[in-house]
Amino acid sequence: MSTSSRFAVAVHVLTLMAWAEEEPLKSEQVAESVNTNAVVIRRMLCELAESNLVISQTGSMGGSKLARPPESITLQDIYQAVESRGVFSLHRHPPNPDCPVGVNIGAVLNDVLDEVDAAVQGVLANMTLRDVVSRLKPCMSTASGKRVSATNGKRKQVARVQSVSARN
């Protein structure tokens, strides 16, 4: 069904910023953590900025940080910012209008899909970025400090292990 990782990446990006608190992060730094290209991140940051979730600053010493405190940003906000279309799609081509089922099934399905989408958003509304950060913390060694990445130089990108991405 869903073939998009946009939501997962958006949560990841914003979590990094919640983690970094007020310090602006550069798209390169974020890209390194997400393991993708910096332009992909910048594109997403533009969308997140339009929804007033982040603020970016151009120029030297620029970067992006959260626009508001992490406890005020829910996963629903993020979902709405980056996943415009609902959970399912309807028919690619409209069904046959001469068939009594075909002509009406769209309306029925739309009702169902609206209900589903509302349920999804209901779940996502119950978790904030602050919660995500809290869930992250127990997993880590406390010694490793607060920086996003200890090595901030030109580290080689992590090898991409093909076809091992979690949900397949």
| Footprint (CB under 8 A) of a copy of itself, residues 16-55 | 16, 19, 32-36
* Gap between the Cα atoms of 66 and 73, Å rounded: 9
Give dist(CA 89, CA 118) in Å, integer.
15
Q: Which of a copy of itself, DNA, none is residue 111 near (CB under 5 to 8 Å by kind)?
A: a copy of itself
Q: What angle do CA 15, 18, 22 make, to 5 degrees?
A: 145
User: Residue 72's binding partner, choosing from a copy of itself, DNA, none, with beta-carbon cut-off 5 to 8 A by kind?
Assistant: none
Min. distance of Cβ 118 from a copy of itself in angstroms?
Answer: 8
- Residue 160: CB atoms within 10 A of its CB come to 10
Instruction: Figure out which of the listed residues 13, 18, 27, 73 binds DNA, where binding follows CB under 7 A.
Output: 27
Kindly indicate which of the ranges 19-27, 104-112, 124-132, 137-145 contains the residues binding DNA, using the contact rule CB under 7 A: 19-27
Beta-carbon count within 10 A of 151 CB: 8
Q: Name 145's Cβ contacts closer than 8 Å, sequence gap at least 6.
A: none
28 contacts DNA (rule: CB under 7 A)? yes
Applying CB under 8 A, what is the total number of residues that bind a copy of itself? 77
- Residue 15 CA to residue 139 CA, distance in Å, equals 15
Answer with the entry of a copy of itself, DNA, none that 69 interacts with (C-beta below 5 to 8 A by kind).
none
Contact positions with DNA (CB under 7 A) in 48-107: 49, 56-64, 85, 89, 92-93
